[in-house]
Structure 1
Amino acid sequence: MRNTIPNRTSLVRPPSQRLYPCAPPTRAHLIVRSVPSRAFTSMIRACLSELCASCCSCVLPPPSSPRAADQEMDSDGAITHRSVETNGVRLHVAEAGPAGAPVALLLHGFPEVWYTWRHQMRALAAAGYRAVAPDMRGYGGSDAPPGGPDQYTALHVVGDLVALIDSLGEKQVFVVAHDWGAMIAWSLCLFRPDRVKALVALSVPFSPRSPARKPVDGLKALYGDEYYICRIQVCIDAM
Structure 2
Amino acid sequence: MPEFDRRTVAGAAVLGAVVAASLLSSPATAIDAAERAAADPLLFGVLLLGLYLVRPFLAWPTTLVAIVAGYGYGVAVGVPVALAGAVLTSMPPFLGVRWMAGGEGFWGRLGDAGDRFFGSTGHVRGVTAARLLPIPADAVTCTAAASGVSLPAFAVGTVFGELPWTVAAVLLGSSAESIAARGLGEVGLPLVAACLVAAAVLLAGPAYQYFGRPGVPS
TM-score (ref. length: structure 1): 0.28
Which structure shows the bigger proportion of residues in strand conformation? 1
Which structure shows the bigger proportion of residues in helix conformation? 2
TM-score (ref. length: structure 2): 0.29
Whose RCO is larger (CA < 8 A, sep 6+)? Answer: 2
